[in-house]
Amino acid sequence: GDSVTQMEGPVTLSEEAFLTINCTYTATGYPSLFWYVQYPGEGLQLLLKATKADDKGSNKGFEATYRKETTSFHLEKGSVQVSDSAVYFCALAGVSGSARQLTFGSGTQLTVLP
């Protein structure tokens, strides 16, 4: 079945540092890929998404490129802020199986220090 493998945390960075959170996936066909963010005590918010190979999703300075050849969707940000501290989840919506419901990675806790 579909699966998502995400870089394990926690990750601690200083403000203005470069961020990369790795995400790779296993799925049949061409799934849609997502990054969600969860701030403390809150639900999940969509950060960005990509629906086909070579698409780049971007939002709030975060970027991720759908790489079919490496089955990856790594999250990057050039300069993190304290307000970016949160848990980040990589997810996919497959083209078969559970009616295209989301399959999540285990999440990566990011802490940004001032």
Binding to other proteins (CB under 8 A) within 65-94 occurs at 89, 91, 93
Nearest distance from C-beta of residue 94 to other proteins, angstroms: 10
**Residue range at the interface with other proteins (CB under 8 A); choices 18-26, 57-65, 74-82, 98-106:** 98-106
**Residue range at the interface with other proteins (CB under 8 A); choices 18-26, 27-35, 57-65, 73-81:** 27-35
103 binds other proteins (CB under 8 A): yes
Q: Binding residue for other proteins (CB under 8 A) from 42, 68, 78, 79?
A: 42
Report how far apart, in Å, the C-alpha atoms of 108 and of each of 1, 9, 51 are: 22, 5, 22
Closest CA to 37 of 112, 110, 113, 114: 110
Maximum separation of any 2 CA atoms in the chain, in Å: 44
Residues linked to residue 46 through DSSP beta bridges, in sequence order: 36
Residue 93 to residue 43: CA distance in whole angstroms = 19
Count, residues near other proteins per rule CB under 8 A: 27
Is the CA virtual torsion 31, 4, 43, 48 positive or negative? negative
Measured from the CB atom, is 11 or 17 closer to other proteins? 11
